[in-house]
Amino acid sequence: MHCRRIVITGMGVVSPLGNTPEALAQNIFSGKSGIQRFEGAFVDKLICKVAAQAKFDPADYFVKKSDYAILDRIGQMALYASIEATKDANLPLKQQQNAGVYIGTGMGGILSVEEGYETLFKKGENRLKPYTVLMCMYNSAASAIATHFEFSGPNLTFSTACSSSAIAIGQAYKDIKLGDINYALAGGTDAILAYASIKSWESIRTLADEDPDDVSASCKPFSADRSGLVIGEGAAMLVLEELEHAQSRGAPIYAEIVGYGTANDFKHVAIPSVEGQAATMQAAIKNSGLAPDAIQYINAHGTGTKFNDETETEAIKQIFGKHAYQLAVSSTKSMHGHLMGAAGALEAMITVQSLLRNELPPTINLNNPDPKCDLNYVPNQSQKIENYRYAMSNSFAFGGTGASLIFKKVE
């Protein structure tokens, strides 16, 4: 079999910075923050009161309530993003035997889980919604998508914490490359802005302090005064397709995926190591067949925590050597927050848009550089780039599973 090339032909999104790829790109490249004061009934009980919430009411996006009523928020967002991605790709909508669904989620239907506990233990009721199990299941979003589109190919869910959706995209890429399928809906979704979930994150002291002057500036990756990550929510879905299949039907082609690598950081369940992150990037570079100095931009995992940002910087230096100071690195989490299981897919989408625009997205709020983080993090304003061809997107995770994706500009 000849070497199959995999391209991206459709994109759909729900995010703190808009619910279309165009709105997301406009806000990202203009340096706008989607981080704000959390709007929730339990906000007064929180230590950290900032979040990156998506403005998404399913009633505004679905014709019938029955289309979304039995889905947790993760399923509602992922299904909408998938519908938009298939429209963008001009795909036929039903009975696709040679297509698959690949979804990443970090915490599944946590909102429905919490609602169930409240019903039983707080309200004292003795009966739950009939569809509670189906709403809570980690594979609920993938199942909803596969059912909606009548896909009979692979229907897979990945849960590797913050790298979940990057792993999902990578596995879809591999399966299409092997010839198992011709195209896939791949990405991720997470909606973890539940009371117990946020309190759990507070307990491990990884959440950012609220900026006293500007709430929207609370996430400060690579800055000396960074204090942690800001939790976000959303979904991002891509249509991945074999190149000749895409060309045969005149599909739009946004970028090519040319490399994917994953590795396990076994040093500690919650503290990253240089070796683990470097191994992930090295695996992607090896898979791509490129020389390291071909990479011109990295969308970093860049959480805004002390350990990750220093570790990722050192890992980049280890892999790229002197070239580390020539390439650009940025953390768009400074604007959209950390979407957990959906982060890798959202950041992959932003990386693709970067190639399309010949423009590097900024790391905002970088006004006090950390001496240990001494690369070009595209501080505060986007940068234009010439002869732009290759970009990488990094996703690392609690538990150790890392993933790197490499994209090539369509020429």
The torsion angle over the Cα atoms of residues 395, 396, 397 and 402, rounded to 10 degrees, is: 100
Catalytic residue among 136, 301, 336, 373: 301
pLDDT average, residue stretch 221-249? 97
pLDDT average, residue stretch 36-56? 94
Quote the tokens at residue 322: 């002197």
Is residue 219 part of the annotated active site? The answer reads no
Catalytic residue among 48, 136, 162, 373: 162
- Residues constituting the chain: 411
pLDDT value of position 95: 61
pTM over 0.85: yes
Is the pLDDT reported for residue 232 higher than 50?
Answer: yes
pLDDT average, residue stretch 390-411? 96
pLDDT average, residue stretch 179-201? 95
Q: What percent of the chain has pLDDT over 90?
A: 88
Amino acid at 274: V
Give the CATH number of domain 7-248. Answer: 3.40.47.10
pLDDT value of position 1: 46
pLDDT-derived band at 77 (thresholds 50, 70, 90) equals very high
Tens of pLDDT, residue by residue over 322-344, are 999 999 999 999 999 999 999 99
Tens of pLDDT, residue by residue over 87-141, are 999 997 666 778 999 999 999 999 989 898 888 888 998 888 888 888 899 999 9
* Domain(s) of CATH 3.40.47.10: residues in the chain: 7-248, 258-409
Check: CB of residue 348 under 8 Å from CB of residue 164: no
Q: What phi and psi values does residue 184 have, to the nearest 5 degrees?
A: -150, 150
Distance in angstroms (rounded) separating the CA atoms of residues 72 and 189:
11
Is residue 323 part of the annotated active site? The answer reads no
Is residue 338 part of the annotated active site? The answer reads yes
Tens of pLDDT, residue by residue over 208-224, are 999 999 999 999 999 99
Q: Where does 188-266 have alpha helices with state H?
A: 195-203, 243-248
With respect to CATH, is domain 258-409 assigned 3.40.47.10?
yes
Check: CB of residue 235 under 8 Å from CB of residue 77: yes
Q: Where does 272-382 have alpha helices with state H?
A: 274-288, 306-320, 333-336, 343-357
pLDDT average, residue stretch 154-158? 97
pLDDT value of position 363: 98
pLDDT-derived band at 411 (thresholds 50, 70, 90) equals confident
Amino acid at 393: S
pLDDT average, residue stretch 16-42? 96
Q: What phi and psi values does residue 359 have, to the nearest 5 degrees?
A: -145, 140
